[in-house]
Chains A and B, each alone.
Chain A
Amino acid sequence: MGTGVFFFPMRKKSTRKSNSRFRLFRLVIFAGLIMTLAFIFLVSTLGNQKFGGLHKLVLETTGPVQEVVTSGVNYLLSFKQGYLEVLGVREENKRLWKELKECRALLHKSREAMATNARLKKLLAFKDAADFPVVTASVIGKDPSMWFRSLIIDAGTNSGVVKGSPVANSEGIIGQVITASPSYSKVLLAIAPSSAIDVLLQKSRVRGVLKGSGKLTYRLEYVLKTVEIEEGDVVVTAGYGGMFPTGMPVGVVSKVIRKRRGMFHEIEVTPSVDYKTLENVFVLQRNESAVDE
């Protein structure tokens, strides 16, 4: 037992020594190989500057790695960017909504301004073309009852408006003033049942009396059955008595009811004025001498 213990360590020591020598040898050989290859590679590279097969092999091997790494980094960067953007998106959302609201308000204002501009241009054209003095007024109130049809306008006797003054716009006759205070007036619309205007059929020059129906139409009365009337005939003011100027548009014949009985036609006239969109009107200043006559 004691001999064995003494003998075996001697053999083990000798084996370990030879192993370490062999390992050192292998290392030297490997290092020498590497050095040689490196030297060859260096010489060949520096020498003719040729992108050789090894280079290509290296590139082909490392290319995908580089690609993966780069795309990974890019993904991480974009993720970080996205995250940062998400953090700021609420504020941006608020700002954008505010901007959108402002833009919408601006658009609405612009549209309104364009519509007003178009309307005022028409009124101005009418005012310029009119042969008689006119007073511009705005509609400030409408009759709330269902039995009357009248308006309140913001022009009165201070502006030269008097009872009986005709009221019109660029499209035609609207009505006439029935009462006037210094700054305001009440206008009886031509569609009111109590309104009656002397009119002419433009084509046949036949005279009639235009009465309001209370709806958005007129009734043309006292036109004899012997007169030929067609739908689409234009109705204009007759100008008798000097109340309304001659030839102002009133409406268009929309229906002719021919009855067996009676002397007169039953004629419905569609107004040339759109009563639903009345905003600005003209009060025509009357020729007093003509009225008196």
Chain B
Amino acid sequence: MIVIGFTVLGVLLVVLQTSVCMIHPVWLLAPDFYYILVAYLAYRLDLLRSLIILFFLGCVLDVFSGTILGMYSLLCFSAFFLLRYAAQKMPVSESLYQVPLVGVSYLVISWITYILVSIFEPGTLVEWYWWKMMVRTCLIVAFAFPLFRFFEYANHWLSKGLFAWKKVRVRTDNRYRS
């Protein structure tokens, strides 16, 4: 249920970003919602389910954006593993530090992806501007906290199950065993 729920959520975020947030084709102030979802998956969800969601998310992004298939999948998976590794290795796991880390990782992963694509597919990408990337990073940081809260709520809701079968199932009288 969580996999389906977050996959649908990812698709909706991408659609929102491509239709509502992009006022015209060269619009800058469209926050990369999908990246916040990637970060949330890295921090909160288990590996297998996250990878399934990321697979679909990368597919959707490759369809909606860009001319190089697989680029977004690479970006999403790289970001996921980097953030997961960082979250495990970091001495402090406070959410206060997690949000800036999302921004920094976005900048680093984007830069590495840009360099790789520029090497293997020269002349296909628009020129890199640091200030534009910084604006996008700031947008991600700004939206990270509210979206994390929303994902947390969605996760909680999806964990209970969309249909309340768990509530009506027959239980034993033993209320002390988990």
Interface pair A144/B125, CB less than 8 Å apart? no
Known A145-B66, A150-B66; judge A193-B124 contact (CB<8 A): yes
Is the CB of A253 closer than 8 A to any CB of chain B?
no
Known A148-B125, A193-B123, A193-B124; judge A142-B22 contact (CB<8 A): yes
B161 → A minimal CB distance (Å)? 32
In chain A, positions 167-195 with a C-beta closer than 8 Å to chain B are 178, 186, 188-189, 191-194
Enumerate chain B residues within 8 angstroms of A140, measured Cβ to Cβ: 19
Is the CB of B30 closer than 8 A to any CB of chain A?
yes
- Which single member of B19, B26, B27 contacts A215 (CB below 8 Å)? B26
Query: Could you mark each residue 10-30 of chain B with 1 if its beta carbon is under 8 Å from any beta carbon of chain A, else 0?
Result: 000011011101111111101
Interface pair B19/A143, CB less than 8 Å apart? no
Interface pair B65/A150, CB less than 8 Å apart? yes
- Which single member of B18, B21, B63, B136 contacts A146 (CB below 8 Å)? B136
Enumerate chain B residues within 8 angstroms of A189, measured Cβ to Cβ: 25
Interface pair A278/B25, CB less than 8 Å apart? yes
Count chain B residues whose beta carbon lies closer than 8 angstroms to a beta carbon of A. Answer: 31
A154 → B minimal CB distance (Å)? 12
Interface pair B25/A141, CB less than 8 Å apart? no
Interface pair B65/A148, CB less than 8 Å apart? yes
| Cα of A192 to Cα of B22 in the assembled complex, Å | 16
Count chain A residues whose beta carbon lies closer than 8 angstroms to a beta carbon of B. Answer: 28
Query: Could you mark each residue 107-144 of chain A with 1 if its beta carbon is under 8 Å from any beta carbon of chain B, else 0?
Result: 00000000000000000000000000000000011111
Q: Which residue of B lies closest to A145 (CB)?
A: B65
Interface pair B65/A146, CB less than 8 Å apart? no
Interface pair B30/A191, CB less than 8 Å apart? no
- Which single member of A142, A146, A178 contacts B67 (CB below 8 Å)? A178
Interface pair A146/B25, CB less than 8 Å apart? no
A50 → B minimal CB distance (Å)? 90
| Cα of A141 to Cα of B30 in the assembled complex, Å | 13
Is the CB of A275 closer than 8 A to any CB of chain B?
yes
Interface pair A144/B136, CB less than 8 Å apart? no
B126 → A minimal CB distance (Å)? 3
Interface pair B32/A144, CB less than 8 Å apart? yes
A157 → B minimal CB distance (Å)? 15
B16 → A minimal CB distance (Å)? 10
Interface pair A142/B24, CB less than 8 Å apart? yes
Q: Which residue of B lies closest to A178 (CB)?
A: B67
Q: Which residue of A lies closest to B14 (CB)?
A: A144
Is the CB of A277 closer than 8 A to any CB of chain B?
yes
In chain A, positions 2-29 with a C-beta closer than 8 Å to chain B are none
Is the CB of B156 closer than 8 A to any CB of chain A?
no
Is the CB of A286 closer than 8 A to any CB of chain B?
no
B24 → A minimal CB distance (Å)? 4
Known A144-B18, A147-B114, A152-B64; judge A275-B126 contact (CB<8 A): no
Q: Which residue of A lies closest to B127 (CB)?
A: A214
Interface pair A146/B24, CB less than 8 Å apart? no
Enumerate chain A residues within 8 angstroms of B30, measured Cβ to Cβ: 144
- Which single member of B32, B63, B126 contacts A149 (CB below 8 Å)? B126
Q: Which residue of A lies closest to B17 (CB)?
A: A144
In chain B, positions 25-41 with a C-beta closer than 8 Å to chain A are 25-28, 30, 32
Known A144-B18, A146-B133, A148-B66; judge A191-B25 contact (CB<8 A): yes
Is the CB of A223 closer than 8 A to any CB of chain B?
no
**What are the 6 tightest A-B residue pairs by CB atom distance, in nearest-first order?**
A214-B126, A142-B22, A141-B18, A276-B24, A147-B125, A194-B124
Given A141-B18, A148-B67, A276-B24, 10 further pairs, Cβ under 8 A: A142-B24, A143-B64, A145-B65, A147-B66, A148-B125, A150-B65, A194-B124, A215-B26, A276-B23, A277-B24
